[in-house]
Chain A
Amino acid sequence: MAAFGGVPIRRVLVAAIAALAMGCLCSGCSGLPTVRAADRAAAAELLKTISRAEQAAIARRAPIYRDPALESRLGAVLEKLLRPLGERPDAVRIVLLSDPQPDAYSYPDGTIYLHTGLLACLENEAELALLLAHELIHVTRGHALQVVEASLAERDRETASEDASGGLRLAARWSAWMDVSRRIHQRRALEEEADRLGLDLVMRAHYDPRQALAIFDNVADEALGVLSAERLAALRTCVADRWPAVSRQTAPRDGFRSDLQFLLLHQAQNDAQLGRWHHALKSARRFLRDSPDQAQGHYLLAEILRQRQGPGDWDQALAHYRESIRLNPRCPKSRKAAGLLHLRQGRFDLARAHFESALALSPSPGDAAYLASYLETLPITSKGDSL
Chain B
Amino acid sequence: MRLRMWLCLIAAVLCVACAHAGGKPALSFNVAVPEGWKQVDTDEPMLFITKDGGYKQFVLIRERPLSEPFHFSQKVMHAGTMPEEAAEIVVHELLSDTNIRNFSLLENIPARIDGRRGFRLSFIYTDADGFLFKTLYFGFIDGNRFYNIRYAATQEEIYQKDLVTFEKVLQSFKLVAAKAP
Contact = CB atoms under 8 A, between A and B. Distances in A.
Given A275-B73, A373-B117, A344 B109 contact: no
Given A343-B82, A344-B80, A373-B110, A273 B73 contact: yes
Interface stretch (B19-27, B52-60, B93-101, B135-143): B93-101
Nearest to B105: A366
Contacts of A343: 82
Interface in B63-118: 72-75, 80, 82-85, 88, 92, 95-96, 98, 101, 107-110, 117
A159 interface: no
Interface in A100-151: none
Q: Is the interface of B mostly helix, strand, loop or mixed?
A: mixed
A275 B109 contact: no
A369 interface: yes
A141 to B, nearest CB: 33
A273 B95 contact: yes
A274 interface: yes
Interface residues of B, number: 20
A161 to B, nearest CB: 38
B127 to A, nearest CB: 12
Interface string A367-379: 0011001000100
Given A274-B73, A275-B75, A307-B88, A366 B108 contact: yes
Interface string A279-318: 0000000000000000000000000000100000000000
Contact of B96 (A61, A274, A307, A373): A274
Given A307-B88, A340-B84, A344-B80, A369 B110 contact: yes
A366 B95 contact: no
A61 B75 CA distance: 22
Interface string A343-373: 1100000000000000000000110011001
Contacts, number: 39
A272 B89 CA distance: 10
Contacts of B88: 307
Of residues B84, B88, B95, B101, which shows the largest number of chain A Cβ atoms within 10 Å of its Cβ? B84
A343 B81 CA distance: 11
A60 B74 contact: no
A208 B92 CA distance: 40
B2 to A, nearest CB: 35
Nearest to B88: A307
A273 B110 contact: no
Interface of A: 60-61, 272-275, 307, 340, 343-344, 365-366, 369-370, 373, 377
Given A61-B98, A275-B75, A275-B92, 4 more contacts: A340-B82, A344-B82, A369-B109, A370-B83
Interface of B: 72-75, 80, 82-85, 88, 92, 95-96, 98, 101, 107-110, 117
List the 4 closest A-B pairs by CB distance, nearest first. A373-B110, A369-B109, A273-B92, A366-B108
